[in-house]
Amino acid sequence: MEVILLERIRNLGDLGDKVKVKPGFGRNFLIPQGKALPANEANMAVFEARKAELIKQAEDSLNAAKLRAHGCEGVELSIVAMASEEGKLYGSIHAAQIAEAAQERGIDLNASEISTDDVIRQVGEYEVTLNFHADVQTRIKLVVEAQKAA
């Protein structure tokens, strides 16, 4: 299936690119999310008519993402979780928990914007990547501490 991208998508293409994708990805994700249009003559005309508007939206989105990334520079989040005496967590730390810790610090993050290199199952310090935009990423420090016995 060929689609016309309405925004930059990492590892796929840029605004206005005509790319070939698997039918399910196009029909179930790209088109319903408003990220692409099916590639046909009518949609090419629609895209050309909206091109200036889409470029402006893309620039605004990029600038907003850069501002958010700048606001997260140097941030250190801390999560307290139950752990054994050896420092092994009972469970693991997920993106939703990291987003919740960020919300408590007044940082607006969605779990979908957070990615970790490994599964966090030990007490310690970790680097977490925040993906605000296809072109904007930043890393923050996450400190996982063991919960003190009551």
Helix and strand counts by DSSP (H, E) for the chain: 3, 9
The whole-number pLDDT of residue 74 equals 87
Q: 2-70 adopts what CATH topology?
A: Ribosomal Protein L9; domain 1 (3.40.5)
Structure tokens at 35: 């990220």
Separation between Cα atoms, residue 126 and residue 70, nearest integer Å: 20
**Side-chain-side CA neighbours of residue 53 (13 Å):** 5
pLDDT at 144: 95
**CATH number of this structure's domain 73-147:** 3.10.430.100
39 φ/ψ angles, rounded to the nearest 5 degrees = -80, 105
Domain positions in the chain: 2-70, 73-147
Say how many C-beta atoms besides its own lie within 10 A of residue 72's C-beta: 19
- Intervals of the chain under pLDDT 70: 149-150
pTM, 2 dp? 0.78
Topology agreement, domain 2-70 and domain 73-147: no
> Which of 115, 132, 9, 116 lies closest to 68, judged by CA?
132
Residue 149: the pLDDT is 59
What's the confidence (pLDDT) of residue 148? 74
Bridge partner list, 141: 76, 127
